[in-house]
Structure 1
C-alpha cells in the first residue's frame, strides 16, 4: 500500500483492500467531514452544511496553509533544515506551524499578542516553538497586529537566516484552500452550493474558496464574516476583543477577494453563535465560527427556501473555554450578563425562523 501527499496536505490513499495508514501526521490534514446541521435553525427552511476543519490534526483550518507554506519555502530553497521561521499569529496558525516546522527540522518563533488565548500559547511551546509576546499596541496605529508585524521585522534582522512565510500575502495560503477546502466541499455537494460562508482574517480561506468557485463556474454566493472593528473590506478600525477574526491592516490577500456580501459581527454575536452551535448540534467551535453562525441566522430571511449553505467551522472551541464559553469572561470583557446572552440567542432563533 502507498499514499500520496498533495500540495494542500490532502491525503489520497491508494487502496489495496485493507485499511490505509497515513504516513506522518501531516498526511491526516484535509478530507475533513462535511456535516448537515438539522437542529441549528430547524425552522429556517434551508439546508446547512458545516465543514469541520476542527477535525484537522492541529484542530483548525490553519493546518492546510501552514503545511503548504512550509513546503513551498522548502521547495524554493528559502527554508532549509536547521533554519528558522518567524511568523505572526493570533493562535491557530502558530500551533499548526509549530508542528509542521518540527516535522521539517526547522526552528519556529511565533509572535503573538496579549489577546492570544493561553491554550494556543501552551500548545506552541509544547510543540517546540518559541513565543514572542507583544503586549502594547503599535503607537502610531493603536493596533496589536501592526505591533506584531513590527516585532517580526525586528526578529528577522536579529536571527541569521530567519524566514517569514508572510501568511497575509503568501499565495500558498489561499492555494491550500482552493485545492483542499473548497474542492472537498464542491465534490461532496456535487458542485451544487448556493452560499459559502467563511470568517476572514488573512482572508486566505475565502480567497482560495472563491478562486475554486470562479475556476469551476459554480453559481455560489460568497459571504465574508468579519469582526466589527476590522479594516478589511472597507471596515473602520476599532478594538476587537477576540483574536483570529478580522484584521487591523488590509492584507495583501484580501485585495484579491471580492465577496458578494460582508457581514460584521460583534464579540457578543460570536458568543451567541458558538454557544448555540454547541447546544443545538454538539459542535464545540471557536469564536470565528460563532460569528458565522450568528451571521447565518441574520441572513435566513434573505435566502430562498431550500437554499444550500456551507459554513466553515474554522477551529475547535476548546481553546475558548475560558473566554467565549465562560460567563465571567463574557461579563468582564464584553459587559454582557448571562441574561443578555440568553436574550440575544432568543432573538437570533426568532430571526432565523421562516413563516
Structure 2
C-alpha cells in the first residue's frame, strides 16, 4: 500500500469509526454514527491480523445483513482481504453496496422449521461455508467481547465533550455499543443510568408478547434492533431499565427528526431517540447521551416510501407520548412499555437462564 493510499484509508477510517455529536436538546446529546459497526469490525480485524488468527490476504466470513456487513465489506476492501457474508433478504441498495465492495453473498431467505428463526438459519449456513473455506476467520460479532471493548474510545470522546453523563440510552442488537460505552462512562459516574431499548418481538430480555401490530410483526426483521436469538454481549447486570418501542413509534420519530433537522436516520435511531427525548424531558438537570446507530439510506424503499408506508396506515395513526410502566415481562405488549430491570441477572428477572446459544457459536 502506497503512502497516499494509507493516508486516504486513514481518513476513511477516522470518518467512519467515530460519531458526530449532535445537541438535540439542552441536556440531550446524540452520538450520530455514519456506520456504527465500523468500530468493532476494525478492532476485531486488527487484533486478528496482529495475533495471526487472520493472515494478510486471508478470508473473512460472517453472518450479517446490516451495518456490520457493510463495515466488514469496506475494511476487507481496504485491507485486501476476501469476504463472504451470510445474509437475510437485502434491499437492492444494500446488496449493490456489499457486492460493489467485493463481498460474496449467500442470502438465506427462509427459516421454516428452524428454531431461532432467520438468524439461526444463517448461522447454520455459515457453519457449512466455514468448513469449505479453509483458514477463514469468523469475527463472531454477537459473542466476541472485543465488540464491546471497541466502543471505549468513543465513550472517551463523549466524555471529552461532556464531562459528566448521567444517562445513556441505546438500542440493543448484539449488545456491544450500549454496554461497551456504558462500562467506560460508569468509571467517571458510578451512578450512570443505563437504558436499553428493544423491539416488541425481540427475545433478548425474555419478553415474548402474544399480540403485536401488523407493522411490528412484518417489519421487524429489517430494523437492526432486537434479536430472535440470545446475544452474548448483553450485560444484564449493567442495565437499569428496558423499553420496548413499537415500530410505528420508531417510524414516527424518524420522520419527525427529518422534518426538524433534515437528518435521515433509520428505525434503531428513531427508537433510541424517542426514549432519550422522553427521559431528558423528565429530568432537565441531567445530561443524557443517546446513540443513533443507523443512517437512512438502506430504508429509502420502506420508511421513506409513501407506497410502503400506506400498507401500515392503521398502525401509523397511533401515537404514544410516554411509555406504559409494567411490573413483569408477561405484560410486554404492542405498546411502548417500560420495565425496571434493576441491574439484575437474567435469571433473577425471568426465573430461568438465557436460552442456549444457537448451534454455530464456538467462541
Q: Same fold (TM over 0.5)?
A: yes
Equivalent positions of 1:269-284 (< 5 A) are 269-284=249-264
Equivalent positions of 1:40-55 (< 5 A) are 47-54=27-34
Which residue number corresponds to residue 307 of structure 2?
328
Which residue number corresponds to residue 205 of structure 2?
233
Which residue number corresponds to residue 17 of structure 1?
none
Counterparts of 2:277 and 2:310, CA distance in 1 = 23
Point out the more displaced range, 320-329 or 60-69.
320-329
Aligned mate of 2:22, from 30, 35, 57: 35
Counterparts of 1:348 and 1:327, CA distance in 2 = 24
Counterparts of 1:264 and 1:172, CA distance in 2 = 27
Which residue number corresponds to residue 72 of structure 1?
47
- 1:85 deviation in Å? 0.7
Counterparts of 1:256 and 1:172, CA distance in 2 = 17
Which residue number corresponds to residue 134 of structure 2?
160
Point out the more displaced range, 120-129 or 21-30.
21-30
RMSD: 2.6
Which residue number corresponds to residue 99 of structure 1?
74
Deviations 1:160-197 (A, max 9, x none): 2111110011122111112x22111111101x112111
Counterparts of 2:239 and 2:41, CA distance in 1 = 24
Counterparts of 1:84 and 1:138, CA distance in 2 = 30
CA contact (8 A) 2:87 2:105 kept: yes
Equivalent positions of 1:141-220 (< 5 A) are 141=115, 143-178=117-152, 180-190=153-163, 192-220=164-192
Q: Does 1:86 pair with 2:61?
A: yes
Does the residue aligned with 2:238 lie in a helix, a strand or coil? Answer: coil
- 1:324 deviation in Å? 1.4
Does the residue aligned with 1:316 lie in a helix, a strand or coil? Answer: coil
Q: Does 1:291 pair with 2:271?
A: yes
Deviations 1:295-341 (A, max 9, x none): 2355456x323332111111211211111122322333xx335xx53
Does the residue aligned with 1:233 lie in a helix, a strand or coil? Answer: coil
Deviations 1:90-149 (A, max 9, x none): 3211111011112222101111102x3332221111111111101111523151111111
- 1:63 deviation in Å? 0.9
Deviations 1:251-287 (A, max 9, x none): 1111565311111112212111111111112221111
- 1:342 deviation in Å? 5.4
Aligned mate of 1:123, from 97, 116, 139: 97
Does the residue aligned with 1:86 lie in a helix, a strand or coil? Answer: strand
Deviations 1:16-57 (A, max 9, x none): xxxx9874522434443211114xxxxxxx622111212xxx
Counterparts of 2:233 and 2:189, CA distance in 1 = 21
1:158–1:257 distance in 2 versus 1, CA, 3 Å? farther
Counterparts of 1:82 and 1:68, CA distance in 2 = 17
CA contact (8 A) 1:230 1:237 kept: no
- 1:224 deviation in Å? 0.9
CA contact (8 A) 1:53 1:313 kept: yes
- Which runs of 5 or more structure 1 residues have no equivalent in the other structure? 1-19, 39-45, 55-59
Counterparts of 1:33 and 1:144, CA distance in 2 = 33
CA contact (8 A) 1:270 1:288 kept: yes
| Equivalences, count | 311
CA contact (8 A) 2:16 2:33 kept: no
If the length of structure 2 is used for normalisation, what is the TM-score?
0.79
Equivalent positions of 1:300-315 (< 5 A) are 303-315=282-294
CA contact (8 A) 1:91 1:121 kept: no
